[in-house]
């Protein structure tokens, strides 16, 4: 009897949900037809007619809109991948420092987290771009001799040239996300019982080595879910690129939408592209999670 009732409730909820979705789709369709804005994607194969500041594959303005959008997607991907790597390095370092026994390191890293988390990301990006990078001189700074050159035209690393827009965006996103990752890492480290610290210390291991070999591996299961959500945040926040003049997917869509007047289609494509990107990140992180779990079981 009880089971039947539960089944009925589930059925009712599913039905209600389907009805709601149906109504929304019907509403959209009816209104799109009424306002003469019914979806059409023919424009994707027309020449774009605008240039892009940077592109990963050959691109010229006479190429299709679809190709221009794909270039934007690749630019987004580039920022996201570089941002993920840099944010992880910054975040893990800062998170580990917060659990350190050295009080200076603790103070610096908690100061960093506190400062960065209080300021909106858009303002930080504008700061990195307009204040930090563009205020540099034309004569490049060379902090590591000839290895890295930083100027208001971008960063040059051993022949690899990064535009100033890209550099500012990656630095801004990584520092912002790094602060959140630091908190996730700290939480993970705190979840490891104190006894484990005492254990490796009593074995005579150094702090850093013990953290790396004993504590962090045990903290990983607690860190990875939080890390995944920070990675997804970074990917989504990368759409702020347009504020600092970087030609990411959103910036390219923006131009496409005004030139073609196809706002709804443009935003649908944007939604799908970001969904794809984030599903990729989620899938990859799930793989990592499974690996960590298996590794833990086997040891």
Partner 1 sequence: MNGRLIRSLIGLILLCSGCASVSTKSSTRLDLIKKRDQLHCGVSGKIPGFSFLASDGSYKGLDVDICKAMAAAFLGDESKVQYRALTAPERFTALKTGEIDLLSRNTTFNLSRDAAGGNGLSFSPVVFHDGQGLMVKRTSNINKIGDLDSANICVGSGTTTEQNLNDAFQERELSYTPIKYQDLNQVVAGYLQGRCVAMTSDRSQLAAARSAFPDSENHTIMDVVLSKEPLAPAAIGNDQRLSDAMRWVIYALIAAEEFNITQDNIESKRQEAIDNPQMSSLRRFLGIDGSLGEKLGLSDDFVVNIIRATGNYGEIYNRHLGSNSSVPIPRGPNHSYLKGGVMISPPFN
Give CA–CA dist 86/174, Å, rounded: 6
Residues 155-184 that bind partner 1 (CB under 8 A): 164-165
To partner 1, the closest distance from the beta carbon of 239 in angstroms equals 11
Identify the H or E element spanning 150.
strand 148-151
Q: Which is nearer to partner 1, 26 or 294 (CB)?
A: 26
The neighbouring-strand residues paired with 247 are: none
C-beta separation of 69 from 256 below 8 A: yes
Give the footprint of partner 1 on residues 215-244 (CB under 8 A). Answer: 242-244
| Tally of helices (H runs) and strands (E runs) in the chain | 10, 3
Among 93, 152, 196, 278, binds partner 1 (CB under 8 A): 152
Among 11, 18, 30, 284, which residue sits at the site for partner 1 (rule: CB under 8 A)? 30
Tell me if 120 contacts partner 1 by CB under 8 A.
Answer: no
* Region from 26-34, 66-74, 84-92, 102-110 binding partner 1, contact rule CB under 8 A: 26-34
Phi-psi region at 172: left, alpha or beta (left = phi > 0; alpha = psi -120 to 50) = alpha
Of 55, 41, 53, the closest CA to residue 260 belongs to 41
Closest CB 299 distance from partner 1, rounded Å:
46
Q: What is the Cα gyration radius of the chain? A: 24
12 or 284, CB closer to partner 1?
12
34 part of the interface to partner 1, by CB under 8 A: yes
- CA–CA gap between residue 14 and residue 16 (Å, rounded): 5
Specify the residue for token string 């998170």: 95
Element (H, E) at 162: strand 160-162
Angle, alpha carbons 49-51-56 (nearest 5°)? 125
Shortest distance, position 105 Cβ to partner 1, whole Å: 35
Q: Which is nearer to partner 1, 19 or 85 (CB)?
A: 19
At closest approach, how far in Å is the CB of 52 from partner 1?
A: 7
Judged by CB under 8 A, the chain residues 86 through 105 that form the site for partner 1 are none
Residues that bind partner 1 (CB under 8 A): 9, 12-13, 16, 19-20, 23-24, 26-27, 30-31, 34-37, 49-53, 61, 130, 134-135, 138, 152, 164-165, 242-245, 247, 251, 254-255, 257-259, 261, 263
């Amino acid at each position: 009897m009880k089971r039947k009732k539960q089944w009925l409730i589930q059925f009712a909820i599913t039905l209600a949900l389907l009805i709601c979705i149906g109504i929304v789709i019907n509403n959209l369709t009816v209104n799109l037809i009424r306002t003469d804005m019914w979806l059409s994607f023919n424009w994707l194969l027309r020449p774009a007619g605008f240039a892009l500041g940077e592109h990963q594959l050959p691109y010229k303005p006479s190429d299709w809109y679809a190709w221009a959008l794909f270039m934007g997607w690749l630019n987004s991907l580039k920022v996201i991948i570089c941002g993920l790597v840099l944010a992880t390095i910054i975040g893990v370092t800062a998170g580990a420092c917060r659990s350190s026994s050295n009080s200076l390191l603790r103070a610096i890293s908690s100061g960093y987290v506190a400062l960065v988390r209080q300021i909106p990301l858009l303002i930080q990006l504008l700061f990195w771009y307009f204040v930090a990078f563009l205020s540099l001189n034309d004569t490049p700074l060379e902090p590591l001799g000839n290895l890295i050159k930083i100027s208001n035209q971008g960063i040059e690393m051993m022949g690899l040239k990064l535009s100033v827009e890209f550099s500012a965006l990656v630095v801004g996103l990584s520092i912002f996300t790094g602060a959140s990752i630091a908190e996730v890492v700290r939480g993970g480290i705190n979840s490891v019982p104190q006894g484990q610290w005492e254990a490796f210390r009593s074995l005579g291991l150094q702090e850093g080595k013990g953290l790396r070999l004993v504590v962090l591996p045990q903290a990983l299961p607690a860190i990875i879910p939080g890390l995944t959500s920070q990675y997804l945040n970074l990917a989504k926040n990368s759409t702020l690129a347009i504020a600092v003049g970087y030609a990411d997917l959103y910036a390219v869509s923006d131009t496409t939408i005004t030139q073609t007047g196809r706002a709804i289609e443009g935003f649908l494509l944007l939604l799908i592209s970001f969904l794809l990107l984030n599903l990729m990140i989620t899938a990859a992180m799930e793989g990592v999670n499974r690996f960590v779990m298996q590794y833990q079981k086997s040891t």
